[in-house]
Amino acid sequence: MPAARYLLLNYNKIGMCNLVNKYNVAGPRYTSYPTVPYWNMETFSVNHWKDSVQKSFNESNNTEGISLYIHLPFCESLCTFCGCNKRITKRHEVEKPYIKTLLKEWALYCELFGAKPTIKEIHLGGGTPTFFSPENLQLLMEGILCHANIAEGHEFSFEGHPNNTTEAHLQTLYNLGFRRVCFGVQDYNETVQKAIHRVQPFENVQRVTELAKTIGYTSVGHDIIFGLPFQTTAHVQETIAKTTLLKPDRIAFYSYAHVPWIKGNGQRGYKNEDLPTAEEKTAQYNLGKQLLQEADYTDIGMDHFALATDALYTSMIEHRLHRNFMGYTAQKTQLMIGLGVSSIGDSWYGFAQNVKNLETYHHLVNEGMLPLGKGHILSEEDLVVRKHILNLMCNFKTSWTAETTQIPELANIAEKLAEFERDELIQLKNNTLSITKKGKPFVRNICMAFDVLLQRKKPETQLFSMTI
């Protein structure tokens, strides 16, 4: 079906354009609650973090195991759309010293645990994990796994750059237990690729996707972004058409977060007028969603789609879907340890982020200290609100019938929810909220109604990307 017809269908939806204008505000993506700008450093300390990790480890290691997020920050060139912490370099001699420090940090946590950890999930993120040679990635993983048990049904995954991921990368990590890989595609249009400084031909993506499937990876994912500079609905249509030819198992279809005042020089390479408007972004999303659904992908959550054969789909059907700093995940553990510069850990009772400066990270770890930069210990109220937001993000519904699910601000929250109900974005019945099909694109806005910290103290400057 031509893109013009999709646009006509989208804009014929009653009031959709008005809803976009109404709800297109700055808001969190809720990979955590409280969100990072609202972490309370006055009640946080390294010792508080250690106590929360030990508590969580003792409660969950023998039942569900733990997760690891390992941040590998190096990239050979700057992708200007990217908001991740990275170090741009072509000097590959940085690999081994960084791995050595990572393993020292892991040893500090293993000592803190007091017992052998059982690892259920590992994700290698970046930066560009495939900046590292296959031999050095093997060195890293063997150093991690020699101090741990591996859980039954574990999921190990990594992010691969289509331009530099080799068969050796894929085979080496497969041999170490990795079965999921995600490739950053973004958009196939050359003008868009040049604007975001991420030029990669379709043939490169095809090569690594087919290689991964041949080797035996059970979940191959592609990341696509809408709302990029100079991007049009025609570009989105072309990108998704090429993507569905390769039939990845899951697709992340993200909204570009334009926050140059936070992310620095990379995002200042283009002007606001180079970006699609909120209405154009909504059209891009609606078109992409329609095309993906026609290609047998199910809408999993805010920005994820999966085939019925993928673990993410199964997790959604069985109500086991989880969301954390890695986005939506089919695995849930109470304790997630973040290793590496800028990485974030989650003990359920607290969050901690490592320092963002690479040299400081090396120094602190080599001095025998956890390299924490900031964090937050959750209050009882935080834990209740966190559960509501997780319910909304993962299951599109939540309830406050039980006394343990209630907070004093419920009356104020109800007032805000009434507006969503009038706009047919949610249904309210017997202290239970369900997000409608019409309301799913506005899930971030609905979560904001429960964000009591955001309501109590509106930021004076814009901290978050726009919700549409």
State the residue for tokens 């354009």: 17
Residue 10's pLDDT is 47
Instruction: Supply angle C-alpha 367, 369, 373, rounded to 5.
Output: 120
- The verdict on 281 and 136 lying in the same domain is yes
- The verdict on 164 and 286 lying in the same domain is yes
**Which is nearest to 56 in space by CA: 374, 377, 465, 341?**
377
- The verdict on 293 and 383 lying in the same domain is no
How many CB atoms neighbour CB 181 within 10 A?
30
- The verdict on 443 and 310 lying in the same domain is no
Residue 278's pLDDT is 81
- Residue numbering of the annotated binding site: 69, 75, 79, 81-83, 126-128, 159, 186, 198, 223, 257, 344
Residue 227's pLDDT is 93
Residue 463 covered by a domain: no
- Give the CATH number for residue 414: 1.10.10.920
Cis previous bond, 162, omega within 30: no
Residue 28 covered by a domain: no
* Domain end residue (candidates: 338, 371, 397): 338
**Do residues 73 and 85 make contact, with C-beta atoms less than 8 angstroms apart?**
yes
- The verdict on 327 and 414 lying in the same domain is no
Residue 140 covered by a domain: yes
* Domain end residue (candidates: 320, 338, 356): 338
Residue 370 covered by a domain: no
- The verdict on 328 and 386 lying in the same domain is no
Residue 7's pLDDT is 43
- The verdict on 159 and 223 lying in the same domain is yes
- The verdict on 196 and 252 lying in the same domain is yes
**Which is nearest to 158 in space by CA: 173, 145, 146, 171?**
173
Q: Cα separation of 380 and 364, whole Å?
A: 32
**Which is nearest to 389 in space by CA: 381, 380, 400, 398?**
398
- The verdict on 391 and 326 lying in the same domain is no
* Domain end residue (candidates: 312, 338, 364): 338
- The verdict on 201 and 126 lying in the same domain is yes
- Residue numbering of the annotated binding site for S-adenosyl-L-methionine: 69, 81-83, 126-128, 159, 186, 198, 223, 257, 344
Domain that holds residue 152: 34-338
- The verdict on 447 and 307 lying in the same domain is no
- Give the CATH number for residue 314: 3.80.30.20
- Residue numbering of the annotated binding site for [4Fe-4S] cluster: 75, 79, 82
Residue 353 covered by a domain: no
Residue 107's pLDDT is 98
Structure tokens at 370: 């956890």
Q: Cα separation of 417 and 188, whole Å?
A: 39
Residue 338's pLDDT is 98
Residue 88 covered by a domain: yes
User: If you ran DSSP here, which 8-state letter would residue 26 be given?
Assistant: B
Residue 11 covered by a domain: no
Number of domains in the chain: 2
State the residue for tokens 């063997």: 142
Residue 9's pLDDT is 47
Backbone dihedral region for residue 27 (phi beyond 0: left; psi -120 to 50: alpha; all else: beta): beta
Residue 2 covered by a domain: no
Q: Would the pTM of this model clear 0.85, i.e. be above it?
A: yes
Residue 69's pLDDT is 97
- The verdict on 334 and 390 lying in the same domain is no
**265-303: burial string, b at 16+ Cβ within 10 Å, e else:** ebbeebeeeebbebbbbbbbbbbbbbbbeebebbbbbbb
Tens digit of pLDDT per residue, the chain (468 long)? 444 444 444 444 546 667 877 877 778 889 899 999 999 999 999 999 999 999 999 999 999 999 999 999 999 999 988 888 899 999 999 999 999 999 999 999 999 999 999 999 999 999 999 999 999 999 999 999 999 999 999 999 999 999 999 999 999 999 999 999 999 999 999 999 999 999 999 999 999 999 999 999 999 999 999 999 999 999 999 999 999 999 999 999 988 877 664 555 555 467 788 899 888 988 998 899 999 999 999 998 778 999 999 999 999 999 889 988 888 888 889 999 999 999 999 999 999 999 999 999 999 999 999 999 999 999 999 999 999 999 999 999 999 999 999 998 888 898 889 999 999 999 999 999 999 988 988 899 999 999 999 988 876 556 576 666
* CA distance readout (Å), 442 to 22, 414, 449: 11, 17, 12
